[in-house]
Structure 1
Amino acid sequence: MVGRLLLFSYIFVVASATVKLRELYAWNVLDWNYPDPFAKQRDIDSGALNPKNALPVGIERWRNKLFVSVPRWFPGIPATLNYIDMDAPYDPSPKLTPYPSFRENELGNCDEGLTTVYRIKADKCDRLWVLDVGTYGYDPNVTNLCPYALNVYDLHTNRRLRRYVFRNEDIVSTTFIANIALDEGNSCDDTFAYFSDELGYGLIAYSWEQNKSWRFSHSFFFPDPLVGDFNIAGLNFQWGSEGIFGISASPRGPDGYRTLYFSPLSSYTEFAVSTRILRDESKVEGSYHDFKVVGSRGPNTHTTSKVMDETGVQLYNLIDQNAVGCWNTNLPLKPQNTAIADKDDVGLIFPCDVKIDLDRNVWVISDRMAVFLESELDYSDINFRIYVANFDSLVQGTVCEPDPSQAITQFKNPTFDNSLSIYDANLASVTPQTFTGVSPAFRSLPTYVNNAQQKFTYQFPNQPAQSYVFSTPKPLLSSNRPWWFANNNYSPYK
């Protein structure tokens, strides 16, 4: 408890370029807690630990644990699901502790371990919902070691309660599941989880009580072909194939159901559907008109992560603008009804994930992902940051600020503007340093790889040794020059 008090007192005094968000942790490069130095050296020698290949992408807070996910895009990631102990003495650059353990993060151990985790979500029943996508590496060198599997942990005992492998009917050849949203009912059993299939263009619903999943398809899950051009941190690239990505569930409305809001990554448009539809497997067919167009956030509003407070205010990352945006769902969705909650052109380069905990604290992790994938990180500089802010303070003074006279229980079902096109013609034209080719986020990761390659061999449990070819890991830069001066020697795969 003392550590936690010291930690949160630090939040209010640490200097940050953001106005409302406060930098809590920052890293040049990630590292892990090992039981002893010999175990760590063993992993370094074997290649099982290579910190410069690690990029944090997901965040979630439960009590004294702050969870951080690190996908296995490159070799040398000893654990894909980790946490920071917030009761420990404060460290501005803490090492990550594997969750639940190193053994249960064993690469390729499909039944008992986690191979690659992106987003995670804790619920009010003190369960942690974790999706293992089962992949290793990135395109064009992705290997599917394990099936897509949902893992749910008891956060009090750190034991896995359930592992559920998605049905063959839920998965298509291009499936990449990017996000999780929870729909909690009147009991712990009455919980549904929704998963966005970014590259398979689908939405998967899962019922805890039925222990069963089903898949929805819709044209609203596809990318907008007019807004596939991205400009982030001085880099111009195209992620044109990115479909449904960010999803968030509203508070329950007067009808007892929530609204699931969603948008493709390559889109400025927000869509929605009632969970009354998603909870009913029989609605998989014939529910086309139950999915609605909500409105447009306006130009340069690509987003990968969104979350909604109990007041009905949605927060989302704005990867084009190095910012966190907001929208009060009691207002029609149009640019003038959205706002920048906070912005930092250095610290918030690619704000990858946004979460709200049960104490209504907002957590944001930034990781310079576009630079990591499309250029080079300077590991003598700070590359990864975690910020925190009180929710009310973050939206105070913006058009998103909730009406204090409106009780949380008065959340109303949204209205939809079905006259809107899914396309937004108000496109900004920005052409900084240009790369050619298509570089999708997360699974179909960059088509740019270093010309030199190395081969790594891993022995998986009960399997013969297999070799996988990866691009040579980016070296630690010894220069103090900013990352944008780094020479680029990348060439596209044909």
Structure 2
Amino acid sequence: MQRLLLLTLSLVVVLCHEQFQVIFEWKSIDFKWPSEEVRKYALLRGDYIPMNNFITTVKFWKDKMYLTIPRWKDGVPVTLGVTSAKPVNNNETAPFLDPFPTWDMQKLGDCSAFQLVHSIEIDPKGRMWVLDTGRSTALRMENKRDCPARLVILDLEDNGKIIRTYEFPDYVARRGVTYLNDIVLDHENGGMAYITDNGLDDPGIIVYSVKNNTSWKIRHDSMKAEKEAVGFMVAKTRVINPVNVDGIALSPASESNRQIYYSPLSSFHLYSIPVSAARDNVTNIDQFVKELGRKESQTDGMAMSATGVLYFGLLADDAIVMWDTKKSSFAVGRRIISRDHVLTQWPDSFTFDEDGNFWCVTNMLQNFLNNRVNISVPNYRLIRTHLGVKSYQYYENGTAPEWPDFTASAESVRFALATLLAVLLVFVAK
């Protein structure tokens, strides 16, 4: 009887939310090439293999949306793209992507360009924070080079101009080993970023201080893959892949004692730690880690609203869940708001736009992992519902807290000067 009551409550909540609608969907991801000849040459050389391009993250700023395409296999020419946030003529649901900010910034083997971008975040001032793992995980060795993992901050109000580049030191994010997966931003204490590193050898949450231009890593067993959760089924396809700490969310800007929420993909548990513990880099993190409860399935990305509602997916159930962190415990407060065995296969990541819409990237990743992508059918979707709220970076009334202004770090200036010198030397040589 109790189980039936809980199910009924869940169904009521589902009915209280607008259903997700498909706004964009692609059979395969393609780009606005310099010319058709360049595209054909890229196909011939294997620099562009349509079935190897998939979307993990989308973020919105004004009338544009920015998408990441991680280089997990060969043939991914662009790892960060941009297109209109609205379907052209209201019927173009599979738009071509422009490389962002330029084609030059997508060049493999060039450590000044993006090598593998999995996630991005945009702050209320229009600055895009880009995680570049620094290496392609593709198999082909040509043009392959392990560059340092970086955080690159771009100004969307100035055509994607680089504001700051920060290279993580090896003791924080080891070159060739780390994998920068997801990021959340905090406006306090001069600006902070919290980043999940789910590299196999040294998983953890990286903390970056804008004010001090430095970083450190928090490590804990709760951030490691759990054996019981390594294998699962999605749409009758078996996934067996240990993945460490993956999804991350930050409680809203209005809270005084903010919490960082996280979970390994290979885990049934949700955890949290206070921002203060991460920010202060406490020696013994064990006493601050809190296990909030057990989920019904594995989870990839997650997102927090300005009102303190946490959203996440259940991969083995093709479902999207909400939990109001301010009203009830995780054990009894979870509610399924969507379950669709076609449209929500592998809800990968979530985001809010400026109009109060809530978006989810679904990418059927189980097919990609098992080399079963069929580009004759839709594979990648952006689905949307209207919630009428903004993201965790805003107050409940929709206004944004005061974000710190910052300029390029000394490291970024040195990098720019080195690039300019290299161009001058080439010019002189000619």
User: Could you tell me the TM-score, scaled by structure 1's length?
Assistant: 0.70
Cα offsets for 1:139-164 (capped at 9, x unmatched): 79896521111111001111111111
Report matched runs for 1:189-200 at 5 Å.
Answer: 190-198=190-198, 199=200, 200=202
Q: In 2 relative to 1, CA 257–335 (structure 1 residues): closer, same or farther, beyond 3 Å?
A: closer
**Does 2:227 align with 1:225?**
yes
CA distance in 2, matches of 1:277, 1:335: 24
CA distance in 1, matches of 2:340, 2:265: 21
Q: In 2 relative to 1, CA 313–384 (structure 1 residues): closer, same or farther, beyond 3 Å?
A: same
Report matched runs for 1:326-341 at 5 Å.
Answer: 326-341=322-337
Report the 3-state secondary structure (helix = DSSP H, G, I; strand = E; otherwise coil) of the residue aligned with 1:371. Answer: helix
**Residue from 178, 181, 184 that aligns with 1:181:** 184
CA contact (8 A) 1:272 1:291 kept: yes
Q: In 2 relative to 1, CA 315–139 (structure 1 residues): closer, same or farther, beyond 3 Å?
A: farther
Q: CA deviation at 1:48?
A: 2.1
CA distance in 2, matches of 1:80, 1:379: 19
CA contact (8 A) 2:109 2:145 kept: no
CA contact (8 A) 1:252 1:259 kept: no
Report matched runs for 1:134-283 at 5 Å.
Answer: 134-138=134-138, 145-157=146-158, 158-172=160-174, 174-185=177-188, 190-198=190-198, 199=200, 200-239=202-241, 241-252=242-253, 256-281=256-281, 283=282
Q: CA deviation at 1:253?
A: 5.6
Q: Which amino acid aligns with 1:56?
A: I
Cα offsets for 1:425-466 (capped at 9, x unmatched): xxxxxxxxxxxxxxxxxxxxxxxxxxxxxxxxxxxx99xxxx
Q: Where does structure 1 lack aligned partners over 5 or more consecutive residues?
A: 1-17, 394-406, 410-460, 463-494
Q: CA deviation at 1:35?
A: 3.0
CA distance in 2, matches of 1:333, 1:267: 19
Cα offsets for 1:286-322 (capped at 9, x unmatched): 332122222223x22x111011001100111221111
Report matched runs for 1:309-388 at 5 Å.
Answer: 309-388=305-384
Name the Cα RMSD after superposition: 2.6
Cα offsets for 1:333-367 (capped at 9, x unmatched): 44531111112111111111111233321111111
Q: CA deviation at 1:238?
A: 2.2
Q: In 2 relative to 1, CA 292–162 (structure 1 residues): closer, same or farther, beyond 3 Å?
A: same
Report matched runs for 1:288-327 at 5 Å.
Answer: 288-297=286-295, 299-300=296-297, 302-327=298-323
Q: CA deviation at 1:49?
A: 2.1
Percent sequence identity over aligned pairs: 26
**Residue from 373, 385, 389 that aligns with 2:385:** 389
Q: Where does structure 2 lack aligned partners over 5 or more consecutive residues?
A: 1-16, 390-394, 398-421, 424-430
User: Could you tell me the TM-score, scaled by structure 2's length?
Assistant: 0.80
Report the 3-state secondary structure (helix = DSSP H, G, I; strand = E; otherwise coil) of the residue aligned with 2:369. Answer: helix
Moved >6 Å (runs of 4+) = 139-142
Q: In 2 relative to 1, CA 318–102 (structure 1 residues): closer, same or farther, beyond 3 Å?
A: same
Report the 3-state secondary structure (helix = DSSP H, G, I; strand = E; otherwise coil) of the residue aligned with 1:168. Answer: coil
Q: In 2 relative to 1, CA 280–334 (structure 1 residues): closer, same or farther, beyond 3 Å?
A: closer
Q: Which amino acid aligns with 2:182?
A: N
Cα offsets for 1:86-124 (capped at 9, x unmatched): 36544111001110011111111112x101111111111
CA distance in 2, matches of 1:360, 1:50: 36
Q: In 2 relative to 1, CA 141–102 (structure 1 residues): closer, same or farther, beyond 3 Å?
A: closer
Q: CA deviation at 1:228?
A: 2.1
Partner in structure 2 of residue 446 of structure 1: none
Q: In 2 relative to 1, CA 137–97 (structure 1 residues): closer, same or farther, beyond 3 Å?
A: same
Q: Which amino acid aligns with 1:180?
A: I
Q: In 2 relative to 1, CA 140–30 (structure 1 residues): closer, same or farther, beyond 3 Å?
A: closer
Q: In the comparison of the two structures, how many residue pairs are matched?
A: 372
CA distance in 2, matches of 1:138, 1:74: 4
CA distance in 2, matches of 1:100, 1:257: 36
**Does 2:78 align with 1:79?**
yes
Q: In 2 relative to 1, CA 275–133 (structure 1 residues): closer, same or farther, beyond 3 Å?
A: same
CA contact (8 A) 1:135 1:144 kept: yes
Partner in structure 1 of residue 105 of structure 2: 104
CA contact (8 A) 1:19 1:342 kept: no
Partner in structure 1 of residue 56 of structure 2: 57
Q: CA deviation at 1:266?
A: 1.4
CA distance in 2, matches of 1:318, 1:141: 36
